[in-house]
Amino acid sequence: MNKPIYVTQPYLPPLEEFIPYLEKIWGNKVLTNGGPFHQQLEKALCDYLGVEHIALFTNGTIALVTALQTLRVTGEVITTPYSFVATSHSLLWNGIKPVFVDIDPNTLNIDPAKIEAAITPQTTAIMPVHCYGHPCDVEAIKKIADNYNLKVIYDAAHAFGVQDTQGSILRHGDLSVLSFHATKVFNTFEGGAIICPDAKTKQRIDHLKNFGFVDELTVVAPGINGKMSEFNAALGMLQLKYIDQALMCRKEIDESYRKLLKGVKGVRCVQEAGQAVANYSYFPILIDVDYPISRDALYQKLKDQGVFARRYFYPLITDFPMYRGMSSAHRDNLPMATDAAFKVLCLPIYPELLQSELNYIVDLIREG
Backbone angles phi, psi at 78, to 5 degrees: -85, 130
In terms of domains, do 190 and 257 share one?
Answer: no
The CATH number given to whatever domain includes residue 193 is 3.40.640.10
The reply to whether 2 falls in a domain is no
Q: Within this chain, do residues 224 and 280 fall inside the same structural domain, yes or no? A: no
The answer on 253 and 231 residing in a single domain is no
| R_g over Cα of the chain | 21
β-strand pairing of 123-127 with 151-155: parallel
Other CB atoms within 10 Å distance of the CB of residue 81: 29
Domain boundary among 223, 240, 257: 240
Nearest alpha-carbon partner for 346 in 252, 253, 217, 265: 253
Q: How far is CA 267 from the centre of its chain?
A: 24
Judge if 207 and 251 occupy the same domain. Answer: no
- Vertex 266: Cα angle to 263 and 267 (nearest 5): 65
Residue 92: how many CB atoms within 10 A of its CB? 14
Looking at the structure, do residues 299 and 353 belong to the same domain, yes or no? yes
Cα-based torsion angle of the residue sequence 332, 334, 340, 341 in order, rounded to the nearest 10 degrees: -80
Instruction: Judge if 250 and 236 occupy the same domain.
Output: no
Give the end of a domain, one of 240, 275, 303. Answer: 240
Phi-psi region of 208 (alpha: psi -120 to 50; beta: other; left: phi over 0): alpha
Side chain identity, residue 316: L
CA–CA dist 325, 117 (Å, integer) = 20
- CB burial of 168-200 (b: ≥16 within 10 Å; e: otherwise) equals bbbbbbbbbbbbbbebbbbbbbbbbbbbbeeee
Same structural domain, 55 and 182? yes
- 174: domain range? 15-100+108-240
Do residues 46 and 153 both lie within one domain?
Answer: yes
Are residues 234 and 270 located together in one domain of the fold? no
pLDDT by residue (tens digit) across 106-141?
999 999 999 999 999 999 999 999 999 999 999 999
Asked whether residue 218 falls in the same domain as residue 252, the answer is no
Which parts of the chain sit beneath pLDDT 50? none
In whole angstroms, what is the distance from residue 346 CA to residue 262 CA? 16
Tally of structural domains, the chain:
2
- Return the CATH number at 318: 3.90.1150.10
CA–CA distance from 24 to each of 42, 45, 188 (Å)? 18, 20, 17
Amino acid, single-letter form, for residue 315: P
